Amino acid sequence: MNIEAVFVDRDGTIGGTGHFIHPKDFSPYSFSRAALQILKDNNIKTFACTNQHRISRGEATLDDFYKEFQSYEFDDAFICPHSLDDDCNCHKPKPGMLFEASKKYK
């Protein structure tokens, strides 16, 4: 079985506390960059996949998060910016971000 891609959450997975931290204040865990590099060294695409409802409140922007994920060298990022009340299809655990990635990368 070949693993072609890994979807990685942000808060509490690659760093932080499990709660919202603005990208300018966010720090990855000491091992996160090395772990992502191991995946890349094995030709496995890395995708960030995160709920960030604070974007809908104006506390951060999609661009803030895209720039952050680029700095960690993710291949792409899929971000749900909606509030909890929006009833969107992309807020995890709903599958919208995975469907978007599947469509974009086949």
Instruction: Check 9, 75, 85, 87 and give the catalytic one.
Output: 9
Q: Let me know: does 56 contact 16? Beta carbons within 8 Å.
A: no
Instruction: State yes or no: is 75 an active-site residue.
Output: no
Instruction: Check 11, 64, 75, 76 and give the catalytic one.
Output: 11
Instruction: State yes or no: is 11 an active-site residue.
Output: yes
3-state secondary structure the chain: CCCCEEEECCECCCECCCCCCCCCCCCECCCHHHHHHHHHHCCCEEEEEEECHHHCCCCCCHHHHHHHHHHCCCCEEEEECCCCCCCCCCCCCCCHHHHHHHHHHC
Positions marked active-site: 9, 11
